[in-house]
Amino acid sequence: MSKIISAKVIICSPGRNFVTLKIETESGHYGIGDATLNGRELAVAAYLEEHVLPCLVGRDAQKIEDVWNYLYKGAYWRRGPVTMTAIAAVDVALWDIKGKLANLPLYQLLGGASRDGVMVYAHANHKTVAGTVANALDLKNKGFKAIRLQTGVPGLASNYGVSKHKDFYEPADGDLPVENAWSTEKYMQSVEQLFVEARRSLGWDVHLLHDVHHRLSPIEAARLGKDLEPYRLFWMEDASPAENQKNFQLIRQHTTTPLAVGEVFNSLWDCKTLIEEQLIDYIRATIVHAGGLSHLRKLACFAEIHNVKTGFHGATDLSPITMAAALHFDLSVANFGIQEYMRHSDETYAVFNRHYTINEGYMLPGEAPGLGVDIDESLAAKYPYKRAYLPVNRLEDGTLFHW
């Protein structure tokens, strides 16, 4: 028994907002979990503070599966991003404690290393095709084996994935949601050129990825997948919204471009059909938004028997705690595919000390017990929460569209 004696929520904004849960045990150990839900941070903080933490104190921190079910089944109300993010924060903090109690890095508790390193994909973006390809070449020269390419669309003022900073993309930057404009026709006319130029400059010994960010209908996504086949993408991500999982049957029938989906999913139930019917190749669920390591272990096993690999979300709105948890998971899981990597800002790294490292396009979680990430609470207190929304998107005629 390792009794939980306290649990608290820490909210800070070192470059962007993060919500962190810290759980302490009677034995003098503590664990941390990420509880950040971009643009809805305070909803998760309130869910934790008002509804979860009062039930945690006194429980055995070692009983991770029991606590998980207590919070999932015990709420009666199931799933949803706020609930599943809160559960993930508790789950990851408890795994961190278990690692510290065992004096082992987490990947050892998850079955040990299945590979020497975790292949990550980096991000190249620019408003022009030439600029994106030049940034990608730079990343390739730095040793990255896989690169996601996004570029501006001629005729549109802004586009998903194209940012001021060349290494990462930080879309939550409005005190109220910024309004973007979208035209599928303009996008479809321009995107292929990016991959023509990319293959010409980068060659074929690097994996190329692209995120459609839920902007196409199934038939449009089918066409894009087909058009991009000659450039041998590693994956086309979130080609179409997937609430209706059968949408992907149409896409799958028409293209051999590998498909990745799932950064907005909260549980296995959001991708059961996608996986069971082998409609996708990579599942992108996020540790912090899909119930933590305990739930994703089940999801990954289910995916494994259907030839679906992992390709977890790793944008900057997932704190270094989630990145570390993902790396331990990726290192150990049998059906690992790839891991998204976006550099956090220097302020973020100063608040979250980390043991994970990156070398030649591969990452390792480090050998510190547990997650190998800590939070500097006094530094965190110097960065108070700042409200920040993700943008919304409208078609050129004003119709509200998917962002």
CB of 286 to Mg ion, least distance (A): 10
CB of 315 to ligand KDG, least distance (A): 4
DSSP string, 93-138: HHHHHHHHHHTSBHHHHTT--SSSSEEEEEEEEESSHHHHHHHHHH
CB of 23 to Mg ion, least distance (A): 30
Residue 163 or 247: which CB sits closer to ligand KDG? 163
Q: Is 171 in the site for ligand KDG (CB under 6 A)?
A: yes
Candidate residues 191, 206, 212, 315; the one interacting with ligand KDG per rule CB under 6 A: 315
Q: What binding mask, one character per residue, do residues 81-110 give for ligand KDG by CB under 6 A, x or -?
A: ------------------------------
Residue 178 or 390: which CB sits closer to ligand KDG? 390
Q: Is 263 in the site for ligand KDG (CB under 6 A)?
A: yes
* Phi and psi, residue 339, nearest 5°: -130, 130
- Cα 88 to chain centroid distance, Å, stands at 13
Q: What binding mask, one character per residue, do residues 9-28 give for Mg ion by CB under 5 A, x or -?
A: --------------------
Q: Is 4 helix (H, G, I), strand (E, B) or coil?
A: strand
In the annotation, is 231 catalytic?
Answer: no
Token pair recorded at residue 287:
């540790």
How many CA atoms lie less than 13 Å away from 77 in the CB half-sphere?
8
Token pair recorded at residue 323:
């990145």
- Residue closest to 33 by CA, chosen among 227, 288, 251, 385: 288
Interface size with Mg ion, residues (CB under 5 A)? 2
Q: Is 340 in the site for ligand KDG (CB under 6 A)?
A: yes
For the chain, give the number of residues: 403
41 binds, options ligand KDG, Mg ion, none, Cβ within 5 to 8 A by partner type:
none
Which residues, in sequence order, are bridge partners of residue 30?
Answer: 24
Selected catalytic residue, list 126, 213, 214, 328:
213
Q: Is 24 helix (H, G, I), strand (E, B) or coil?
A: strand
Residue 7 or 89: which CB sits closer to ligand KDG? 89
Q: What binding mask, one character per residue, do residues 249-268 give for Mg ion by CB under 5 A, x or -?
A: --------------x-----
In the annotation, is 160 catalytic?
Answer: yes
Candidate residues 34, 41, 211, 281; the one interacting with Mg ion per rule CB under 5 A: 211
Q: Please enumerate in sequence order all residues whose Cβ is within 8 A of that of 246, keeping only pairs 6 or more positions apart, or say none.
A: 273
Contact 107, 332 (CB under 8 A): yes
Selected catalytic residue, list 160, 169, 282, 383:
160
Contact 313, 285 (CB under 8 A): yes
Candidate residues 24, 211, 330, 374; the one interacting with ligand KDG per rule CB under 6 A: 211
Residue 68 or 234: which CB sits closer to Mg ion? 234
DSSP for residue 61: T
What is the distance between the terminal CA atoms of the chain, rounded to a whole angstrom? 46
Binding site for ligand KDG (CB under 6 A): 38, 171, 211, 213, 263, 313, 315, 317, 340, 390
Catalytic residues: 160, 213
